[in-house]
Amino acid sequence: MMPFSSQKDNNSNFDDQYIDLLGSKSIINRLLTICLYRNINFTIKNFNLCNDVIEFLNIYNNFHKPYIHSQNDNSLFIQQTSKPFEITETIFLTINESGTTLRFILPFIAFYKHTNNLKSEYLSIITLGNVLKTRPIDSLIQCLNDAGANIEKIDDKIFIKPFINNSKSLKFEIDSSESSQFLSSLLLFSANQNFKIFIKSYNNIASKSYVKTTIKILKILNIDTSLCFYQYAYQANESLLNNNNEFICDPDYSTAPYLFIIGLMTNKKIFIKQSINRLQPDYSFRTTLTKLNCKKINSNHYYCFLQSTIKEVSDLPLVFDFNYMPDQIISLAFLSVLLNKEVIIKGIQTLNQKESKRVNAIIENIKLLGSNAISYGHYIHIIPSTNFPAKCYLKTYNDHRFAMIFVAMQLISKINGNLPEIFIDNTDCIKKSYPNFLTILKSLKFN
């Protein structure tokens, strides 16, 4: 099933594009985590089988949790089993790139109850990819160990011994300043009906909006919560969603900005279907486009952006705080170069702990484009220039977010003669989050 269609706009000399994006991997992996703890039939619709999700489904395979993926309607059906999987031998896992998978499954494995017949010292040994082994995880491991788990990380291996305590309640204290996913993984653990859990978060929560996404999903799935300021106490209830046990995943609004940017820079109306639940913080990128003097155009339940004909003149850079959606700092940085608008972007403090050292990569690639970028602690200053080189070789550092914005810019450069000819070192990494992205771009038609 193709995730896009076209229809004619009488005010344009080419077909407008209407795109139904597949589901957000961020939401899907949260749903998959919850279903690890609940033995029910459950269907995720508008499914997106990207590499990060595939890595999570490998956990399902190793723990003998059955599922059926249907390409015909982009759905995943998770099947109820007659009894929990009993571990008798060490489970060896490999997680190459997906930090989300690693962080979300650690509590699941660390406090796994069905290990009475285990014949080995270790319940599981996890091997990490070259980049993933350098990304933050130590604070979460320490938090789980303090609650009674037995986890040790040595270089690219994580060794997990079985949880032998008979306690029915667990108390977690987590430093949330490195990654919001530490706190989210503990909140998702609340779906585990074997325990009542108490969570205290200290230090400022990095990207708190993603924690709110987790809480919203838990509430949609009817998992009761009580919430106080930075203090969480959860007891999972018996029900989950409703009798249908079906969840229609929001469109991936981490991918939408690249398509909006193509439309902006080519004057093509590329309409994206609106998000119903608005669970992704990245949905707010549309507010950023409005602040950049872009014009929003609605069409039923779709909308797009074009550049405004009313020019705004200011000598001051525009200031944005992207602590709530750090993945889109890359999009805004390069869009500001394309629009020739000086911007200051706050909230960069965790960017160098992502799939690449993103702050460094932003600065390097923007300089390759003939512009300038300077980082100062928690913000980055983008100073654009229209003095582009004739050709530009951009570096993704195997990071899907850079590859996606660079592919969008490459397409724009073929239509807009003012931009350099762009070459990209790697586009295969796009499969991490949205494998169909290149197919969507190939479907776009320009006069």
* pTM score of the predicted model: 0.92
Domain-terminating residue out of 248, 266, 290: 248
In a domain, 71, yes or no: no
Q: What is the extent of the structural domain holding 435? A: 4-21+250-443
Q: What is the pLDDT of residue 205?
A: 82
Q: What is the pLDDT of residue 231?
A: 54
**Could you tell me the two tokens for 137?**
């995880």
Q: How far apart are CA 113 and CA 110, in angstroms?
A: 9
Do 435 and 290 share a structural domain? yes
Q: What is the pLDDT of residue 234?
A: 55
311 burial (CB, 10 Å; 0-12 / 13-18 / 19+) is exposed
Rounded percentage of the chain residues whose pLDDT exceeds 90: 73
User: What CATH number did the domain enclosing 223 receive?
Assistant: 3.65.10.10
Q: What is the pLDDT of residue 166?
A: 86
Domain-terminating residue out of 232, 248, 264: 248
* Residue 169 bridge partners (DSSP): 196
Mark residue 76 as left, alpha or beta (left: phi above 0; alpha: psi -120 to 50; beta: remaining). beta
Domain-terminating residue out of 211, 228, 248: 248
387 burial (CB, 10 Å; 0-12 / 13-18 / 19+) is exposed
Q: What is the pLDDT of residue 1?
A: 37
Do 254 and 211 share a structural domain? no
Q: What is the pLDDT of residue 6?
A: 46
Residues of the chain with pLDDT under 50: 1-2, 4-13, 227-230
Do 228 and 116 share a structural domain? yes
Q: What is the pLDDT of residue 230?
A: 44
Q: What is the pLDDT of residue 373?
A: 97
Count of domains for the chain: 2
With beta carbons less than 8 A apart as the criterion, state whether 173 and 202 touch: yes
In a domain, 81, yes or no: no
